[in-house]
């Protein structure tokens, strides 16, 4: 049917449209919501908008952000990864145990991250080779990985060598001022390397998703898996890559948390996967697949992070925070649903 | 016989940008089968939906059994005795036949629970009226498509319908199933039910139809007794011009150079040893009835489904087909009839769809996509194929069927495919866009591409192909030179009535 409403426009005009703002409406809405929260808390909570507090918030949010980015990749293909919370515990514990055998801490950390990627690879194989529904496959591995780490450690946490803690406890770009009386005062407390790692990885994975073949195929598979296969895309391979990304990032989080605590945490990371999924969904990722961005997930995770910190500073307890964050999740998706509701009776002649 | 059951007068209906029905009138008599004919976009479906209360007209009135009615929902129309059976069946797969028939109106016991016994008994009576002897407790998902259709009809009968509207009921049925369906339609008619029958298969009309109404571009054209009108007149009125304009004047000259040779292709229970060749610059048609294995053959060559034995040689090289990737590497492309589910990533942009099968061509080092190169390519094809779109970044699900088909085609052209397999290339595409697709296909053939075109529409086969393969139940029954054959001959091979000896090699050489 040739729809008269769709008229061909001169190409010059078409090209012009390309370069118009790339920021989509939904991302704008979530970004606006984030700023609104920042403003509200700055006004209502004392000490909220201080350099120190903002940096602390960034630090606390970074772990959700990293895991959210990983799970975003998987969700875009139409999958899900519930195992990443367990992966956090497993990788951190592995790294600490390896470091305690005398292996240099940096190498132990790399091994930990590698274990994370390996966990993701396992998930990928279950989903592509055994054709298990991702929810079931990763629900299973969530239990398996958790069971593994508890078995290995007998549920005891172990402390790590001192230098294991440097990565996550050192601040960069710290600015000190030497006072005339010989003492020093802190001008800028420095940015935690956790935040810097988060920024670097967020940029890297945004690049992968937007600019590389793997990223493009990720969207294509989520948009239409069969059409992708019939276009010659190696669907299984791309899916496995995505689970590896997800496991890798969970591994990074595991290492960072272990380093921050300078101990292994066999019981750590419980429920993190749900926060990560929430961050991704608030950021505009669709569980139906095909839709989502790294930028959106970063915003989504910061909405959760800012809410958490802001509410704490206003004296709201953890339980009340859960209610608020849960409501935000529902509202975010409801708004999206209302906006995308197909107009009734489209006239399918 | 002349009592009018249902009448529509001066119906108008517009959708944003389109006048779907323009002052249309129509009437249905008691005990007749009345065919609604017209091309896609002629307004048949809209009229049908208005008659069944699914949509309301902008203006005009409906009369049912002599009184003016105004249905606002399908349920109201159904209660009044007008049932509609859509092309896509509306059954719940996991429920039983009886549960489906009585869904929403289950008989109750005095305790308020569902009276299973009464429901099954009533369902059995209904099925008996359709000569169907089958347990009403079987889940619908375990039934064949034709039996499912019968269940839909039984559901319609359960409302004591006086009017039954059927939208392309035979499109998914085999020959013998169609015969069964026609028997049922006959018995309904004899019982005084008025049946509105929508079909694209003109050849089947003679078995069942009493009167014919023809629509074109939202306008009512004519109503005639079937006996009083010839097939040529029907087609001319549907198309609105002489058939000679329907296909481009063919200028492609098939060479004798073999692009592809398929030998003994076998798929257990589906394809039984199919051999043929395709030449450079040729348009090779594949004809056959539903279930003959045409799409299966195409998918097997393309590697979309595994084969049991047989070989495909492209340009003298044996093709190891394990997946579409292998076929694509050899320059073979497949354009599915189901564009939305198998051809397009509908939530992605035009350019992203075009580059999907050959992303490396728009990539710089390290597999980094160059948006610039991609835009350049999509601009080129939007221009070349005249894809009508408001912008290059349009998501493809906002395009019309014809333009979507062009985007799929652009994907394969950008991939530099040398062999294109079109599966029903014009299904669901309006007349003007059809012609554009035909022209493109012909242009490709002139450029030396080998084209395989699967089609259910024999005029399309006759008008567009150089040779035609005829399949019947997974076997190749004939390879014919199009200009030396006719629709009747193709049909008789397709129905398995006739079988060419040795694939009629004598006929094969032009």
Please report the domains of chain A, with CATH numbers, ordered by start residue: 25-338 (1.10.3470)
Q: Does B172 touch chain A (CB under 8 A)?
A: no
Interatomic CA distance for residues B216 and B238, integer angstroms: 6
Residues 6+ apart with CB under 8 A from B373: B361, B362, B363
pLDDT of residue A5: 40
- Apex B333 CA angle, B327 and B337, nearest 5: 125
Residues 6+ apart with CB under 8 A from A76: A209, A218, A219, A222, A242, A285, A289, A290, A291, A292
Interatomic CA distance for residues B26 and B4, integer angstroms: 10
Which among B15, B324, B347 is the nearest to A290, CB-wise? B347
Which tens digits make up the pLDDT trace of A270-295?
Answer: 999 999 999 999 999 999 899 999 99
Q: Which residues pair with B453 in a beta bridge?
A: B285, B422
Q: Is A270 helix (H, G, I), strand (E, B) or coil?
A: coil
Inspect the interface and report whether the beta carbons of A347 and B18 lie closer than 8 Å. Answer: yes
Interatomic CA distance for residues B184 and A172, integer angstroms: 82
Chain A residue with minimum CA distance to B20: A349
| H-type alpha helices, B191-285 | 205-208, 231-239
CA separation, residue A125 to residues A135, A141, B323 (Å)? 14, 12, 19
Residue numbers in A near B198 (CB within 8 A): none
pLDDT of residue B300: 93
pLDDT of residue A135: 97
CA separation, residue B247 to residues A167, B401, B486 (Å)? 71, 19, 16
pLDDT (mean) for A316-333: 88
What mean pLDDT is reported for chain A? 87
Which is nearest to B262 in space by CA: B23, B476, B497, B481? Answer: B476
Q: Is A185 helix (H, G, I), strand (E, B) or coil?
A: strand
Q: Cβ(A168)–Cβ(A162) under 8 Å? A: no
In the predicted model, is pLDDT for residue A242 greater than 90?
yes
> Which residue in the block uniquely carries the two structure tokens 């988060």?
A198
- Per-residue pLDDT for chain B (510 aa), expressed as one digit of tens each? 468 899 999 999 887 656 788 889 999 999 999 999 887 667 888 898 899 888 889 999 999 988 999 888 888 888 888 988 887 778 888 999 999 998 888 888 888 888 989 999 999 988 887 778 889 899 998 888 778 888 888 888 888 889 999 988 877 777 777 888 888 899 889 989 999 998 877 778 888 899 999 988 788 888 999 888 887 788 778 766 555 557 888 888 888 889 999 999 999 888 999 999 999 999 999 998 777 889 999 999 999 999 999 999 998 888 888 899 999 999 999 999 888 888 898 889 999 999 999 998 999 888 899 989 999 999 999 998 888 888 888 888 878 777 888 999 999 999 989 999 999 888 777 666 788 889 899 999 999 999 999 998 888 898 999 999 999 888 999 999 999 988 888 888 887 776 665 444 444 443
Strands B82-85 and A191-192 turn out to be: unpaired
Interatomic CA distance for residues B278 and B281, integer angstroms: 9
In the predicted model, is pLDDT for residue A9 greater than 60?
no
DSSP string, B329-381: HTTEEEE-S-IIIII--TTSBHHHHHTGGGGGGGB-GGGBB-HHHHHHHHHHH
- Restricting to B residues 411-430, those with a Cβ less than 8 Å away from any Cβ of A are 411, 430
In the predicted model, is pLDDT for residue A245 greater than 90?
yes
Residues 6+ apart with CB under 8 A from A328: A282, A303, A304, A307
The torsion of the CA quartet B443, B444, B448, B452, rounded to 10 degrees, works out to -120
Inspect the interface and report whether the beta carbons of A224 and B345 lie closer than 8 Å. Answer: yes
* Range B4-242 classified under CATH 3.40.50.300: yes
- Restricting to B residues 338-367, those with a Cβ less than 8 Å away from any Cβ of A are 341-348, 352, 356-357, 359-360, 363, 366-367
Chain B residue with minimum CA distance to A289: B347
pLDDT (mean) for A298-314: 91
Q: Tokens for B186, please give them.
A: 């006959």
Strands B163-167 and B194-198 turn out to be: parallel
Q: Does B432 touch chain A (CB under 8 A)?
A: yes
Q: Tokens for A273, please give them.
A: 């996967």
How close are the terminal C-alpha atoms of chain B, in Å? 54
Residue numbers in B near A7 (CB within 8 A): 388, 390
Chain B residue with minimum CA distance to A18: B393
Domain at B246-331+418-508: CATH architecture:
3-Layer(aba) Sandwich (3.40)
In the predicted model, is pLDDT for residue A157 greater than 50?
yes
Which among B327, B345, B432 is the nearest to A223, CB-wise? B345
Strand ranges, E, within chain A:
171-172, 175-178, 184-188, 191-192
SS (H, E, C) B259-308: EEEEEEEEECCCEEEEEEEEECCCEEEEEECCCCCHHHHHHHHHCCCCCC
Residue of A7, A11, A231, A241 to mutate when probing chain B, most B C-beta within 10 A: A231
Interatomic CA distance for residues A27 and A87, integer angstroms: 29
Inspect the interface and report whether the beta carbons of B356 and A231 lie closer than 8 Å. Answer: yes
Question: Number of C-alpha atoms within 13 angstroms, CB side, residue B500?
Answer: 26
Q: Residue A184's CB: how many other CB atoms inside 10 A?
A: 10
In the predicted model, is pLDDT for residue A132 greater than 90?
yes
Inspect the interface and report whether the beta carbons of A1 and B401 lie closer than 8 Å. Answer: yes
Q: Cβ(B469)–Cβ(B286) under 8 Å? A: yes
CA distance A187 to chain B (A): 41
- Apex B456 CA angle, B43 and B211, nearest 5: 45
Q: Does B41 touch chain A (CB under 8 A)?
A: yes
Interatomic CA distance for residues A320 and A326, integer angstroms: 10
Q: Tokens for B178, please give them.
A: 């169609």
Interatomic CA distance for residues A168 and A145, integer angstroms: 24
SS (H, E, C) A301-328: HHHHHHHHHHHHHCCCCHHHHHHHHHHH
Interatomic CA distance for residues A258 and A169, integer angstroms: 11
pLDDT of residue B341: 83
- Restricting to B residues 366-395, those with a Cβ less than 8 Å away from any Cβ of A are 366-369, 375, 379, 382-383, 386, 388-393
Which is nearest to A283 in space by CA: A301, A257, A270? Answer: A301
CA separation, residue A259 to residues A57, A59, A87, A169, A251 (Å)? 18, 13, 15, 7, 12
Chain B residue with minimum CA distance to A222: B345
Question: Number of C-alpha atoms within 13 angstroms, CB side, residue A234?
Answer: 10
pLDDT of residue B219: 86
Residue numbers in B near A214 (CB within 8 A): 367
Residue numbers in B near A8 (CB within 8 A): 386, 388-389
CA distance A220 to chain B (A): 6
Which among A7, A15, A211 is the nearest to B368, CB-wise? A211
Q: Is the pTM of this model over 0.80?
A: no
pLDDT of residue B72: 86
CA separation, residue A264 to residues A114, B130, B153 (Å)? 17, 72, 66
Residue of B325, B336, B343, B347 to mutate when probing chain A, most A C-beta within 10 A: B347
Which tens digits make up the pLDDT trace of A57-112?
Answer: 998 899 999 999 999 999 999 999 999 999 999 999 999 999 999 999 999 999 99
CATH 3.40.50.300 in chain B: give the residue spans: 4-242, 246-331+418-508
Which among B357, B369, B393 is the nearest to A231, CB-wise? B357
Which is nearest to A283 in space by CA: A295, A296, A292? Answer: A296
Inspect the interface and report whether the beta carbons of B17 and A234 lie closer than 8 Å. Answer: no
Give residue A344's pLDDT band: very low, low, confident or very high (50, 70, 90): very low
Please return the burial class of B434, using the count of CB atoms within 10 Å of its CB with bins 0-12, 13-18 and 19+: buried
Inspect the interface and report whether the beta carbons of A290 and B345 lie closer than 8 Å. Answer: yes
Instruction: Return the CA Rg of chain A.
Output: 22
């Amino acid at each position: 049917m040739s729809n008269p409403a769709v008229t061909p426009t001169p190409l010059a005009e078409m090209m012009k449209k390309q370069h118009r703002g790339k920021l989509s409406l939904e991302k704008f809405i979530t970004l606006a919501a984030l700023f609104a929260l920042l403003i509200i808390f700055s006004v209502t909570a004392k000490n909220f908008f201080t350099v120190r507090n903002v940096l602390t918030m960034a630090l606390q949010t970074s772990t959700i952000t990293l895991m959210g980015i990983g799970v975003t990749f998987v969700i875009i293909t139409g999958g899900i990864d519930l195992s990443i919370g367990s992966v956090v515990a497993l990788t951190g514990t592995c790294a600490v145990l390896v470091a305690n055998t005398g292996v240099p801490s940096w190498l132990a950390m790399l091994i930990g991250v590698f274990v994370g990627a390996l966990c993701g690879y396992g998930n990928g194989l279950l989903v592509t080779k055994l054709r298990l529904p991702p929810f079931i496959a990763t629900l299973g591995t969530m239990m398996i990985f958790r069971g593994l780490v508890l078995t290995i450690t007998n549920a005891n946490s172990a402390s790590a060598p001192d230098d294991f803690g440097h990565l996550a406890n050192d601040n960069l770009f710290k600015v000190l001022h030497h006072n005339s009386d010989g003492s020093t005062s802190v001008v800028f407390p420095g940015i935690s390397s956790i935040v810097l790692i988060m920024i670097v990885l967020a940029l890297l994975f945004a690049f992968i998703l937007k600019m590389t073949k793997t990223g493009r195929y990720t969207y294509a598979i989520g948009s239409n898996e069969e059409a992708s296969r019939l276009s010659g895309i190696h669907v299984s391979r791309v899916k496995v890559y995505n689970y590896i990304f997800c496991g890798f990032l969970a591994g990074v989080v595991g290492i960072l948390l272990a380093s921050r605590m300078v101990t292994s945490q066999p019981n750590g990371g419980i429920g993190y996967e749900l926060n990560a999924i929430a961050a991704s969904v608030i950021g505009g990722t669709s569980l139906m697949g095909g839709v989502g961005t790294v930028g959106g997930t970063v915003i989504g995770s910061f909405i959760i992070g800012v809410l958490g910190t802001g509410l704490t500073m206003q004296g709201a307890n953890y339980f009340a925070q859960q209610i608020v964050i849960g409501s935000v999740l529902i509202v975010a998706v409801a708004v999206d649903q209302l906006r995308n509701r197909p107009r009734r009776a489209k006239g399918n002649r | 016989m002349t009592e009018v059951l249902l009448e529509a007068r001066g119906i108008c209906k517009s959708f944003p940008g389109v006048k779907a029905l323009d002052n249309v009138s129509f009437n249905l008599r008691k005990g007749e089968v009345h065919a609604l004919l017209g091309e896609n976009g002629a307004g048949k479906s809209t009229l049908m939906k208005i008659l069944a209360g699914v949509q309301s007209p902008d203006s005009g009135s409906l009369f049912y059994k002599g009184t003016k009615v105004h249905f606002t929902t399908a349920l109201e129309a159904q209660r009044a005795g007008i049932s509609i059976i859509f092309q896509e069946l509306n059954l719940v797969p996991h429920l039983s036949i009886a549960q489906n028939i009585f869904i929403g109106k289950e008989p109750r016991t005095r305790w308020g629970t569902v009276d299973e016994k009464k429901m099954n008994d009533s369902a059995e009576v209904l099925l008996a009226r359709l000569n169907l002897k089958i347990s009403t407790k079987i889940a619908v998902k375990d039934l064949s498509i034709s039996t499912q259709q019968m269940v839909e009809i039984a559901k319609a009968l359960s409302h004591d319908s006086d009017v039954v509207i059927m939208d392309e009921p035979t499109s998914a049925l085999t020959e013998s199933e169609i015969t069964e369906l026609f028997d049922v339609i006959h018995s309904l008619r004899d019982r005084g039910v008025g049946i509105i029958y929508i079909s694209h298969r003109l050849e089947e009309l003679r078995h069942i139809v009493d009167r014919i109404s023809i629509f074109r571009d939202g306008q009512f054209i004519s109503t005639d007794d079937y006996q009083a009108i010839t097939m040529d007149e029907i087609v001319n009125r549907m198309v609105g011009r002489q058939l000679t304009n329907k296909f481009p004047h063919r200028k492609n000259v098939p060479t004798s150079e073999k692009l592809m040779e398929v030998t003994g292709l076998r798929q257990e229970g589906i394809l039984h040893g199919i051999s043929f060749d395709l030449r450079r610059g040729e348009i090779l048609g594949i004809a056959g009835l539903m279930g003959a294995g045409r799409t299966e053959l195409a998918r097997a060559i393309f590697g979309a489904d595994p084969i049991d034995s047989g070989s495909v040689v492209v340009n003298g090289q044996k093709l190891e087909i394990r997946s579409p990737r292998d076929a694509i590497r050899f320059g073979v492309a497949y354009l599915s009839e189901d564009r939305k589910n198998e051809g397009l990533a509908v939530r992605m942009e035009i350019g992203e769809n075009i580059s999907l099968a050959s992303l490396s061509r728009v990539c710089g080092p390290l597999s980094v996509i160059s948006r610039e190169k991609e835009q350049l390519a999509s601009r080129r094809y939007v221009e070349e194929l005249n894809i009508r779109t408001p912008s290059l970044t349009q998501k493809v699900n906002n395009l019309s069927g014809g333009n979507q088909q062009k985007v799929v085609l652009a994907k394969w052209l950008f991939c530099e495919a040398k062999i294109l397999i079109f599966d029903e290339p014009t299904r669901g595409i309006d007349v003007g866009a059809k012609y554009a697709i035909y022209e493109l296909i012909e242009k490709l053939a002139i450029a030396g591409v080998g084209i395989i075109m699967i089609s259910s529409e024999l005029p399309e086969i006759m008008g567009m192909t150089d040779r035609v393969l005829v399949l019947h139940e997974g076997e190749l029954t004939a390879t014919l030179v199009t200009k030396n054959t006719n629709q009747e001959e193709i049909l008789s091979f397709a129905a398995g009535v006739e079988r060419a000896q040795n694939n009629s090699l004598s006929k094969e050489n032009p």
